[in-house]
Amino acid sequence: MILSTKSYQSLLDEPISFECPYCNKASGMELISAPIHQRVTRFELQYVILGYMCSSCREQTPLLFKFGENVHVYKDSGDLPIRTSYYDIMTPQQLKFEHDKYLPEIIKTDLDEALSCYSVGAFNGFAAMCRRTIQSCLTELGAKGKDRIKSQMSDLKEIYNIDNDTVSILEQVIIDSHDGAHPHLPKLDNTRAELLLELIKDILYQLFVRKAKLKEASKSRLVAIEKKKKDS
Ligand SMILES: [Zn+2]
């Protein structure tokens, strides 16, 4: 598609549809906000954000698009080619821990804040909030929690085939800080933040969700047995 000096027609004509993060329906997306051509050329931007509205629920989702190669070449010609592939810019609503009803309130609050940081690309804030989430877990679970976290860490290393540098950084974020070995947070890039996200979700699942779900299952089993006794 084309960002032209004259009209937004080419952007409006490009059909965009995906599963809406708000209503979860496969929906057509209407273009609502588009970049200003003059500004894009002036600052020689390589990326732009276009705003789309879900035609089912009217919630809005921003998408990141890349311009074609060497966009500055087109500076004088007017028309700027935009690649039609796009990147989803995650919104806080999209990033939700689906089992959060099983988490103690304090941990849920810490995790929500961590996810909000992640969804706006604030990866170091995300790391700091993950550290705090783990601290809250240890307060809830006591010393045994730490061993379980370490064991989750080595599982993740195996599953994702993570290099030792990354393992060391993730350990500094979530394990070492509690005994004062690495009081400062290491910096996280996009890829490592993504792994940290998987790790924290996995840890919380194993520490809180799994047990609560098993308890739920066993409770409903007991209720079923009681009912059977009564009926017979
Ligand atoms: Zn929707």
Average pLDDT over residues 99-127: 91
pLDDT of residue 76: 58
pTM of this structure: 0.60
Q: Which pLDDT tens digit goes with each residue over 164-188?
A: 888 888 888 888 766 555 667 888 8
Amino acid at site 178: H
Q: Which pLDDT tens digit goes with each residue over 22-45?
A: 888 899 999 999 999 888 888 888
The Å distance, Cα 19 to ligand 1 centre, comes to: 8
The Å distance, Cα 202 to ligand 1 centre, comes to: 28
Are 72 and 184 in the same domain? no
The Å distance, Cα 222 to ligand 1 centre, comes to: 40
Q: What is the count of structural domains for the chain?
A: 2
The Å distance, Cα 26 to ligand 1 centre, comes to: 8
Among 42, 65, 88, where does a domain finish? 88
pLDDT of residue 114: 94
Work out whether strand 47-54 and strand 26-33 pair parallel, antiparallel, or are unpaired: antiparallel
Percent of the chain residues topping a pLDDT of 70: 91
Dihedral sign, CA of 121, 125, 128, 129?
A: negative
The Å distance, Cα 66 to ligand 1 centre, comes to: 24
> Which are the contacts of 103, defined by CB distance < 8 A and separation ≥ 6?
97, 111, 204, 208, 209
The Å distance, Cα 145 to ligand 1 centre, comes to: 39
5 vs 180, which has greater pLDDT? 5
Q: Which domain holds residue 35?
A: 2-88
Are 160 and 116 in the same domain? yes
Are 155 and 77 in the same domain? no
Of the spans 36-50, 81-95, 124-138, which averages the highest pLDDT? 124-138
Residue 11 contacts residue 86 (beta carbons within 8 Å): no
Element (H, E) at 39: helix 37-42
